[in-house]
Every structure is written in C-alpha cells, then in structure tokens.
Structure 1
Amino acid sequence: MSTSAAEALSASLSSALRDLRSFSFNLNSPVAFVVPIVVILLRVAYVQAKHIHETRSAKKRNMSYTVKWGRERLHFPLPAPDAKLAEIRHEIATYTQLDPQSFKLVHAGAVMKDDNAPISAYGIKPNSSIAVVGGGDVPAAHKRHKPKEKPAERTEASTVAQIRGELDVVRRTLKPDVESFLTTLDPSSVPSSTASAPAPQPASAPVTDSNAAQLGGRNTDIELEHRRLGELLLQSLLRLDAITAEGEWEEARKERKGAVKEVQTLLDRLDGGFRARPRTAAR
C-alpha cells in the first residue's frame, strides 16, 4: 500500500467511524448486535492504516542524504545503491542552479571524482552528508532575498544619451566592417576616401579566391560575414526600437528616428551589395 493509499484509507475510516457514532438504532433490532462488531473492526483497520502510514513516512525520512552548501543544509531522497554519482550531481545542480561541472562533491573528507561510479562505491548511504565545494559561495536562496536596486529614473536627457550611445557603437564597430566588406565584394561600391582595407581593385574584378581570402579564404566566408553583420545590425535596430520616448520628449523621438534611419540605411547597403556582388564559379 502506497503512502497516498494509506492516507486515503485513514480518511475514509475516520469518516465511517464518525458516521457510526452518530447512527441511532433500535436496541430490539438485530442490527444492534452487528454494529458494535463492525465498529471494532473499523477501529482495528484504522489503527493499522495509521501505523502503515507513519512507518512509511519515517522510513522515507531516513532514506535521504544531506547536502552542505555554504550555510544551507539540503535534504534529498537517496537513490538506489547502484545509481551513478552523476545522478546526485544533476539533482544538486538543478536545485542550486549551478553549472554541474563548476563544483566538487566531497564525502567523508574525499573528493568524489568519477561521476560514472555507483554511489555505493563512495559509501553513500542513508543520512550521509555531502559537501558542495566551489561553484559560487553564496547560495541561490540568499541571492533571491537580496534587495533589488531601485532603477534610475528615466529622463529625456538619459534617453537621448542611450540612443546616441547605441548609434556610436554602430559607427565605431559595425560601419567600418560593412565598408570593408562591401569593398571586398566590389571596390567601386565604396568611395576610396571611406574604404578601408583591403586595397581597391578594378571595378570589374569578380569575387574570387584571391580577394575572398581576405575574409577567410573561401567564398563561403563571405556569406558568413554577411550573415554576421546583418544580425548585429538587426539587433541594434531592435534595441533602438525598444527605447521608448515619452509624449513630450520631441528631442528623444527625433534622435531615435535619425538613429534608426542611419542603421537601416547601413543594413540596406550591406544586403544590396551582397545581392549585387559579381559571382564566379568557386575554384
């Protein structure tokens, strides 16, 4: 009988006893001699069910092991003796939200190194204690109770600064890469005054192994670079779109509109140059 079944039986028997106590009958009726026997049998069954439930609960409490994690004391059900140590590691990692490989497990003063070994090989049994070493000194429970810092109040000036900061990152990191990429595809697509390495080639020069080598040595690298730049520009557009400007913040709305237009233009140039690139059969 499972614990839940014992609990259900106990509840049913208790209810039956209450009903019988409240039952009134005629002493001259034959039922008057049967009911006391039924009551006695029900009492015996109730006591037995309660005993089974308490025995199973005590056994379950004893079939566990303790994990010492900082100041925390955690209790987990003990797996079968032939269960691998990896099972315990996974259970601890799931509860603590630690990387499974970021901490060590210590039992009886020794580090348990082989996750594929059964727990019986390490002498882990009911009421054993396992210490978690590494992976972070502060338990997640303490972190959850850490007071959250109050976010800084948003103003139009701070919003404008955020927009300009995002655009500045695009200009410093992505725009030079896009210009260089377009120059590699077709040197005539970018003015020589703004083009960076590699050195310009004749406008009719196709994308071959020689100039594709400057992006990694294969034409497939050109496709990867186009995808990389395109994704970064799209992410920048999404971040700009997420910046909200309050109703009266005209300057912030103007800044965001101009930044979105500049990044979108750069993305359009990237895609247009990639689609219009000269193509030859790869060697």
Structure 2
Amino acid sequence: MSSTTTDSLASSITSVLRPLRSLSPNLNSPLAFIVPIVVILLRVAYVQAKHIHETRTAKKRNMSYTVKWGRERLHFPLPSSDAKLAEIRHEIATYTQLDPQAFKLVHAGAVMKDDNAPISAYGIKPNSTIAVVGGGDVPGASKRRKHKERPAERTEASTVAQIRGELDAVRRTLQPDVDAFLATLDPSSVPSSTASAPPPQPASALTDGKVTQLGGRNTDVELEHRRLGELLLQSLLRLDAISAEGEWEEARKERKGAVKEVQGLLDRLDGGWRARPRTNVQSQT
C-alpha cells in the first residue's frame, strides 16, 4: 500500500466520521449507539492500514542489496536466493549501460565468476554490498581525466637536457668518489689536473687492505670498488636507453660524449684496481 493510498484512506475515513459525529449528540436517533462503534471500527481500520503500509515499506527496504560503482551507491531489490548471478549482472548492466561481460562483480573480497551459480552460493543476503570493477568509465571519471595534465611532449631539447642531467649526476656524485678511491689505492693515479689540489675527501689512509672511512659507505676496498663499478654501469645503461630520433644530431652527439666520459671513468676505476700496489694492499683470498 503506497503512501498515497494511505492518505486517501485517511481522508475517506475523516469524511465518513464528520457526519457521524454530528449525529451522535442526538440521543433520540437510532444511530446514537451505532455511531461510536462505527467510529471506533474505522479508527482501528485506519491504524491497521497504516501499520501494514509501514511494515511493507520496512520489509522492502531490508530486502535490497547495494552496488558500489565508483563513487555511486546504487540500491536494487534482492531477488530470491535461488536466482542466478546472471540476473544481478543483467540488472546492473541495464542501469549502468555497461557491457555485461566487461565488468567483474566482487562480494566479500572475492570475484564472483560463475553467472549460473545461485546468489546464495556467494552469500548474497539483504543489505549485501557488491562492487563493480572494470567495464569502463564510472560517473565523474571522464571529467577527472580532463583535469589531468598531459605528459610533456618529448623533443630534442628535452632529450639533450636528460642526457646532460645524467652526466652531471655522475660528475657530482661518482667522480669524486672514484678519485678518492684511486688516491687511496695509489696517490700517483690521481689525474695531473688535480695533482696540485688538496687530497680528495673524504678518503682516508689504507690500513691492511681496509679503508677506514671512504665516503662514509663501505670500509672494505673490494666492496667499494664493486659499488662504484655497478653505479657507473647503471649510468651507462640509462644513457643507452635514451633514444635519439633520426634528425636529432645534437642529441646523438651529447649521448655519445656522455657515454664516452662515463666509460672512461669506469676504465680508470678498473685500471686503478688492477694496478693497485700489492705492497700496500693485502691480497684478497
């Protein structure tokens, strides 16, 4: 019974009671004893009709399930427990206009795969929540994408800047450590351009094949050599992964020069390690 029906019934009862009330004071009327009974019965009928309406409304509210679709929360009447999952899928697809086979249904953290299985097999009960995963855009998704910044277009200038950034990082972080490492092994290995400069820091004296403080990282000479070598190789791989398009002559030239410089630093590191004075460094077993 809808609320409109209930209101209509109440209005009808009121219209009937109005003339009956006017007759009740007349004790000589044959209706003097009937009117109160009729009034009571009509009032009881109204209360019962209202109670039935409220009970049906509450029952209908409790016999539904919730569908979580993006930020939307949709409510659908729950079919019988022996209904197939395909029935729920079809109902959701009809409302959302999604391809029925393009989305997954998730309940209680598990994907419901068999559309021919009854919903009771998945534990779907009144007030259960089913999530729709996939299937395309959800409400507001296309709008959010418009505000998303597009990635910057790759140009020769940006490629050159990327190459120079990689080379600057090597010069700033790895080259000083390589110079310090080689100076620790053999001071004569330091390039002539830096011979008059103060000793590289923060290297320290070599004692029994150990570097007590070499960049604050590894105290073992062999481990430090391995670390520097791996970092230089990683830099070479990153430079190699930077592609220069067919007409980008400047970019190819920059990459070639950067690779040559990093490779030269790696060769110095390995050469100094192989030629290290054996009298100062205990041989590694």
TM-score by length of 2: 0.46
Which has the greater radius of gyration? 2
